[in-house]
Amino acid sequence: MLVDDSPLSRTLIAGILSAKGHEVSTFQDGQEALAQFANIRPDAVLLDFEMPGLSGLETCIELRKRPDSYNVPIAIVSSHEAEEEISTALTNGADEYILKPIRANELASKISFLMAKRAAPLGAKMAGNVIFSGRYHIIKLLGKGGYSMVYLARDLRTNKEVAIKIMESSSLDDNSTPQFLREAYGLSMLDHPNIVKYMESSHFSDKRFLVTEYIRGESLSAFVKKAPFSELDLIQIADKMCSALSHMSARNVIHRDIKADNILISKEGRVVLIDFGLARGPQQDTLSLGNDFHGTPQYVAPEYIRNEELSVKSDIYSLGITLFYAASGKFPFPSPDASAIIHSHLTVIPPRLEKNVPGISKIFSIMIEKMLVKPQVSRCSLSELREIIDALKSRPAFEQHKFLSGRT
C-alpha cells in the first residue's frame, strides 16, 4: 500500500516496486488508505510524511490502533532528515524512515527487508512498535514455550503491565490448542491473591492469546539456586499455596504442574502460582507414560504416572516436592534419568528433611512426609494440610518473622 498525495511520487515509487515484482495499491491521502486497509490487507505500507488532511505520521498512528495492522510493517517517506522527526516517526509505529530523494536500490532493499520481517517467526518481529489487538503495546519477549510466545506488554486502557501469551499460528494442532484453551478457561474461573490474575483471552487474525497480570519478581527455583529457604519462609509459602489450592479445589480446577518454576515471589513478597497450561478438571483425561508426557518428572504424583484419576491431592504431592526442594536445594529423588525418577515416585520413600537439613523442625518434616504419601487415599487432605500449617504459624517465631528477611 502506497499513500502519497503527489501523482509524480506515486508513479515513481510504484514503478520501482512493480519492477521488483511487488503489486502496489496507491492512495492519495490517509483517510482513503485507512478506509481501504481492511479490504486490501497489505503486506507493507509506505506513507508520505507530508500530506493534506491526515499526515503520514498521523496515518501511521491511526493504523497502529487497529488490531489488523499489528504485524504490517510501515515505512515513512520524507524529505525531513532531522533526528527529532525521524525519532518521532519510529516511536509512533513506523518500522522504517526513508529519505527523499528516493533511490531505487535503497527503496527496494528496505521494502524487501520489511517484507522478510513480516514473514519471520512471531518472536522475531513482535517488538516495541507493535500494538497488539488494538490494546496492548508490546515491550519485549519474555520467553518461549512449546507452542507460544510470552511477551511483556502495557495495557493502553489501564496503563498497567501485563503478560501476553500468544499462540503461534503453526502450533494450531490437536494437542496445543486444547491445552491453550484449558489454561484460559481454568484461569477465568479463579480470582485469588496467590494465583496469577486472568485479564482476558481471545483471538484475532489467526492467533489465540491469553492476557494475565505481569508479576515482577523471581521464581522459587531462582531463589533456591541462590540459597534454600528457611523454615519460617517455607511456612509462609506453604500457607499461601494451600490457600490457592483450596480456592482451585472449590472450582474443580487441578493445576497438574506445580513446581518451583511455576511459583513466583513478587518484589513486594507476594507468592503467586502461575502457568495453568496443564490444568484440568478431575474427570478429564490423564496422560500415561504411553502418551505425550507433559508433567515435570521431578514433581509428578504417582497417580499421574499410573494414569489414575487425579484430584487436589495430586497438586498437594507436587507442592510437597516443591517445598522439599525449596528447603534443601535438592530433590527427594535426584537422578539425571527421568525413568529412574518416575520409578522412585512409585516405590521409594523420600528422606526425612529434619535429618538432612539443619533448622527444619520435626513437625515441618512430618507435614512434607504426609504430602508425599504415595497412595492418594492415604495422602493428607487440604484440611489436614491446613491444620498442620496453622500449627506451624502459631509459634511465636513465625509471628515475629518477616517474610524473606533472612535472605540477602
Backbone phi, psi, residue 210, to 5°: -130, 130
Q: Which residue from 332, 366, 327 is spatially nearest to 236, judged by alpha carbons?
A: 327
Query: And the C-alpha cell for 108?
Result: 527496494
Whether residue 138 contacts residue 159, with contact meaning beta carbons closer than 8 Å, is answered with: no
User: Which residue reads 516511536 in cell numbers?
Assistant: 91
User: Which residue reads 508425599 in cell numbers?
Assistant: 372
Tens digit of each residue's pLDDT, the chain (408 residues): 999 999 999 999 999 999 988 899 999 999 999 999 988 888 899 999 999 989 999 999 888 877 677 678 899 999 888 888 888 888 788 888 898 888 888 888 888 877 776 555 454 455 556 777 778 888 888 887 667 788 899 998 899 999 998 886 544 455 566 677 777 878 888 999 999 999 988 775 667 889 999 999 999 999 999 999 999 999 999 999 999 999 999 999 999 899 999 999 999 999 999 988 766 555 444 333 444 445 689 999 999 999 999 999 999 999 999 999 999 999 999 988 989 999 999 999 999 999 999 999 999 999 999 999 999 999 999 999 999 999 999 999 998 899 998 776
Give, as one character, the DSSP assignment of residue 2.
E
Domains in the chain, ordered, with CATH?
2-119 (3.40.50.2300), 131-213 (3.30.200.20), 217-400 (1.10.510.10)
SS (H, E, C) 121-135: CHHHHCCCCCEECCC
Whether residue 95 contacts residue 74, with contact meaning beta carbons closer than 8 Å, is answered with: yes
How, if at all, do strands 26-27 and 148-155 pair? unpaired
Q: Is the dihedral of CA 321, 322, 328, 331 positive or negative?
A: positive
257 included as an active-site residue: yes
186-218 burial: b if 16+ Cβ within 10 Å, else e:
bbeebebebbbbbbbbeeeeebbbbbbbbbebe
Q: Which of 95, 257, 275, 315 is catalytic?
A: 257
Whether residue 338 contacts residue 297, with contact meaning beta carbons closer than 8 Å, is answered with: yes
